[in-house]
């Protein structure tokens, strides 16, 4: 019998929740009347943020939600804004804690939940080192990222250490939409424009481009380097 797998599922682990609850600037988590509220965008300051339902931060509630939805397994990853709000050594420290959280989910859930790691918002060489650690960590099966790594767009030559590490390790990277960009600004990124039109649209039910909530799983391999210089398309 085949399994039903949710490959795009987010969970804010205990360490990440701790980090956000300690912040006063955006993004942060506020706690009121025993509930958590995520204040991530400036306009949410006025309405007090969005309620974080328990399946977003509790692995037990995540399993219960999977049961209700009929999912046998989930590939879970940290949701936006990942580690973009913190930089340097602090970001590296939090990456270690958060990746440990996600690495433990497979064992904690008897193999029902598989985790993706996250990169720090640090120097590309440091992010590449963390990518190497993720590749060797039991229980982690790839990396989640927004449309920037270390604050840089994917075509920035400074990210070459990251792409090289992903190529050598074969570690998949899940690219999640976050930073908006107009379609006319996507020129020069290989087949990005056609991917938005031909691939992402049908997968997301032909939603408008800036409404997509889809990610792209990209496996960086040595064979790609001649074609696209090692940069993922999209």
* CATH code, domain with 189: 3.20.20.140
Give the per-residue pLDDT at 187. Answer: 58
Q: Dump pLDDT digits (tens) for 125-136.
A: 999 999 999 999
DSSP 85: T
Q: Dump pLDDT digits (tens) for 139-192.
A: 999 999 998 999 999 999 999 999 999 999 999 999 998 765 555 555 555 444
Residue 31 lies in a domain: no
Give the per-residue pLDDT at 185. Answer: 56
Residue 232 lies in a domain: no
Write down the residue that tokens 């107009």 correspond to: 182
Residue 23 lies in a domain: no
Q: Look at the chain and count its residues.
A: 234
Prior bond to 171 cis, omega within 30?
A: no
Residue 233 lies in a domain: no
Among 110, 119, 120, 164, which Cα is nearest to 142's? 119
Residue 50 lies in a domain: no
- State the Cα–Cα distance between residues 122 and 148, nearest whole angstrom: 12
Q: Dump pLDDT digits (tens) for 25-81.
A: 999 999 999 999 999 988 898 899 999 999 999 999 999 999 999 999 999 999 999
The parent domain of residue 64 ranges over: 5-9+55-223
Position 224 pLDDT exceeds 90: no
- State the Cα–Cα distance between residues 193 and 189, nearest whole angstrom: 8
Q: How many domains does the chain have?
A: 1
Structural contact between residues 22 and 90, judged by C-beta atoms closer than 8 angstroms: no
pTM: 0.78
Write down the residue that tokens 């599922």 correspond to: 9
Residue 149 lies in a domain: yes
Residue 128 lies in a domain: yes
- State the Cα–Cα distance between residues 123 and 173, nearest whole angstrom: 18
Give the per-residue pLDDT at 188. Answer: 58
Cross-strand partners of 113: 74
Residue 43 lies in a domain: no
DSSP 86: S
Give the per-residue pLDDT at 232. Answer: 33
DSSP 70: T
């Amino acid at each position: 019998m085949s399994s039903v797998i949710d490959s795009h599922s987010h969970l804010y682990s205990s360490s990440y929740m701790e980090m956000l609850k300690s912040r006063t600037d955006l993004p942060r988590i506020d706690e009121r009347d025993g509930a958590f509220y995520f204040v991530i965008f400036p306009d949410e300051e006025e309405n007090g943020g969005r309620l974080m339902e328990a399946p977003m931060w509790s692995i037990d509630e995540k399993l219960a939600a999977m049961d209700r939805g009929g999912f046998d397994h989930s590939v879970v990853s940290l949701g936006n804004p990942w580690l973009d709000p913190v930089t340097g050594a602090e970001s590296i420290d939090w990456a270690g804690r958060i990746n440990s959280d996600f690495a433990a989910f497979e064992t904690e859930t008897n193999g029902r939940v598989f985790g993706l790691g996250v990169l720090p918002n640090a120097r590309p060489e440091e992010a590449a080192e963390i990518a190497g650690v993720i590749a060797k960590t039991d229980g982690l099966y790839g990396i989640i990222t927004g449309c920037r790594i270390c604050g840089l767009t994917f075509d920035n030559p400074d990210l070459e250490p990251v792409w090289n590490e992903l190529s050598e390790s074969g570690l998949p990277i899940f690219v999640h939409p976050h930073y908006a960009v107009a379609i006319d600004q996507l020129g020069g990124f290989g087949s990005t424009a056609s991917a938005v039109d031909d691939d992402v649209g049908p997968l997301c039910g032909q939603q408008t481009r800036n409404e997509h909530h889809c990610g792209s799983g990209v496996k960086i391999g040595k064979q790609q380097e001649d074609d696209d210089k090692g940069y993922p398309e999209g």
